[in-house]
Chains A and B, each alone.
Chain A
Amino acid sequence: MEFDFAEEQPKFLMLMYGLIAFVVVVGGLLLLLDVVPAWFARRREAQLIAASASGAPLPRRRKQREGLFALFFLLPTLLLLTIGLVVPAIRTTLLSFMNADSSGWVGLRNYGWMFSEGSIIRVLINTLVWVILVPLVATSFGLLYAVLVDKARFEAVAKSLIFLPMAISFVGATIIWKFVYAYRGDGQEQIGLLNQIVVGLGGEPKQWLLESPLNTFLLIVIMIWIQAGFAMVVLSAAIKAIPADIVEAARLDGVSPWQMFWQITMPSIRPALIVVVVTLSIATLKVFDIVRTATNGNYDTSVIANEMYNQAFRYQENGQGSALAVFLFVLVIPIVIYQIRNLRQQREG
């Protein structure tokens, strides 16, 4: 059992190629942008000299060059966005009206399938539960914690503890929690914390992840655990941005902490609150890793993103997979419109 480092060399070679490509592309672009205008400038200078020598009217050309610069600055981004995002998104929309191997049009059949097939309806309901619970609970915990530790002695450390799960991958987080939910047969010593607590309280150990609908809620706990830190950081910053004189004035008026929270803090951080809820809603709609790692979508836990992956990449049902992706996109739109409206109101108000 020896790890052979030599076998890994092609990877490093590939990584080096990637880095060389990076230097060539970016460096080349910058060089090009430096050299070409300098050349033009020299030519224009020569023209000017020639013109002034011969007494002809001065040639004027300045406007278009700005646009040309912009084009080069934007070229890589626009190219990649077109190839990697815009065109594929349009294609996916088209594919959602086609059959499994994209050889013929089927009209709205894939969408009909989505809303009539029992297992998919279950998927949609699960997604709805996720999208309602995660933003709500994660934001509440984040807000509660931000208020609790605000100006406390170990604030920085206390915040890091909650924030830390954000650095952990969804896969890692899921393994962490699967271990909490681990199960061993009745009568044996439990190794999962949750079952140990249940046994300690006199209950029977359970196979948590197999029991629908409880398992969906247990998976939601993982997402909340990861995202509460995000809510906490943003809201904490918003709380700190409340003007000190308002807080002070309220305090002098003898406002109780409870009133302070509802009448000063909440209205002041409303914009940040909306941003957090919106961001979390969108992130939750797309949740995939947790479900896939924990149950692979079995035992009635699947969500849209997971089902989309299974349909398109496991069952090769491109049409149905694309329809699910489009539906996911459609679900995001009202959330974003709500957000934009709010931002606009804020700017006007």
Chain B
Amino acid sequence: MTTATPTIPAGTQATGKTTRVARVRKRLNSRTATLASIVIALVWTIPTFGLLVSSIRPENEIKTTGWWTFFTNPQFTLDNYQQVLFSTSSSSGQLASYFINSLAITIPSVLFPLAFASLAAYALAWINFKGRDWLYIAIFSLQIVPLQMALVPLLKFFSTGVTLGGVTLMPAWDLVDEQKFAQVWFAHTCFALPFAVFLLHNFISQLPKDLMEAARVDGATHPKIFRTIVLPLITPALAAFGIFQFLWVWNDLLVALIFAGGGDETAPLTVRLAQMAGTRGNEWQRLTAGAFVSIVVPLIVFLSLQRYFVRGLLAGSVKG
């Protein structure tokens, strides 16, 4: 393992202590460092690259030759995407339909926890009431409950409702087809809240105290402070959590499998892809194109908003 700092400022040499041998060694060190980082970067990118290249090769080529032969014998087609997205035969992907499902699931599943958690985080940070700290700790520690702990009863809650001693407190939701989106939104919102409250509380509680007090003295009520002062100031935090939640929901398989079912009325891309990988594991022309269809949206979101994402990541993991 070489662990050299690649750049050594000129100042070190100016002290005159560095001998020629040391300098050569340093340069070698920095060269192995560069080489090692390039190797890691290649290992990390080649699998995705291979998939991408394969997705634009004709079916026969994908199935009989390695994707690396593309560079000696380039054959280009968009048929795979056409097939996997729009063909209505059940053996192909029908991914366009699932793509819409993914969108319909993701958008409300991001908005709801965002709004509820920012309201809660504000109250926990700036409104004085009894037991505030305990409540925060309680919500905070809910983060560690694996969502597996909630799946069976929550599904039962949707399908049979709540009855206590023979009295129906809450009827079954009895949702069909696309109405099942509501279940998925509900589940995702619940599961996201502890982390969302924690992350936003980190930001909101660090706003300057003077600002809040000045606003209070001016006679602003809490809702007013929340809307006009806090919300604009925490936009970066909202963006950070929004991206997190977007990636999490878009990429989720478990919650969707259980609450959306497997049909093309509600199931998102991930569920469909997992099905295809299971039943048509060798139809690489569809799998490669399909995987890329599911990857492209989060990739765009991620690359364009990476700054916020990293900031949120650091706030969420290190400061806590």
- B283-313: contact bitstring with A at CB < 8 Å (1 yes, 0 no)? 0100110110011001101110010001001
A191 within 8 Å of B by Cβ? yes
Q: Are A289 and B64 in contact (CB under 8 A)?
A: no
Cα distance A336–B142 in the bound complex, in angstroms: 12
B207 within 8 Å of A by Cβ? no
Chain B, interface residues (CB within 8 Å), range: 35 or more
Q: Are A152 and B34 in contact (CB under 8 A)?
A: yes
A132 within 8 Å of B by Cβ? no
CB closest residue in chain A, given B182: A18
Query: Among the listed A19, A161, A329, which residue makes an inter-chain contact with B145, where contact means beta carbons less than 8 Å apart?
Result: A329
Cα distance A348–B204 in the bound complex, in angstroms: 24
CB closest residue in chain A, given B270: A171
Q: Are A34 and B274 in contact (CB under 8 A)?
A: no
Residues of A within 8 A of B119 (CB): 29, 73-74, 76-77
Residues of B within 8 A of A92 (CB): 149-153
Q: Are B112 and A336 in contact (CB under 8 A)?
A: no
Q: Helix, strand, loop or mixed for chain B's interface?
A: helix
A286 within 8 Å of B by Cβ? yes
Q: Are B253 and A293 in contact (CB under 8 A)?
A: yes
A226 to chain B, nearest CB (A): 10
Scan residues 276-322 of chain A and give those whose CB is less than 8 A from a CB of chain B: 276, 279, 282, 285-286, 288-289, 292-294, 296, 305, 308-309, 312-313, 318, 321-322
Residues of A within 8 A of B154 (CB): 84, 88
Residues of B within 8 A of A145 (CB): 37, 40
Closest 9 CB pairs of A and B: A84-B190, A169-B251, A73-B123, A167-B302, A88-B153, A88-B150, A77-B120, A91-B153, A33-B223
By a beta-carbon cutoff of 8 Å, the part of chain A in contact with chain B is 1-4, 7-8, 10-15, 18-19, 21-22, 26, 29-30, 33-34, 37-38, 66-67, 69-70, 73-74, 76-78, 80-81, 83-89, 91-93, 95, 141, 144-145, 147-152, 158, 160-172, 174-180, 182, 188-193, 196, 225, 228, 230, 233-234, 237-238, 251-252, 254, 257-258, 260-261, 271-272, 275-276, 279, 282, 285-286, 288-289, 292-294, 296, 305, 308-309, 312-313, 318, 321-322, 324-326, 328-329, 332-333, 336, 343
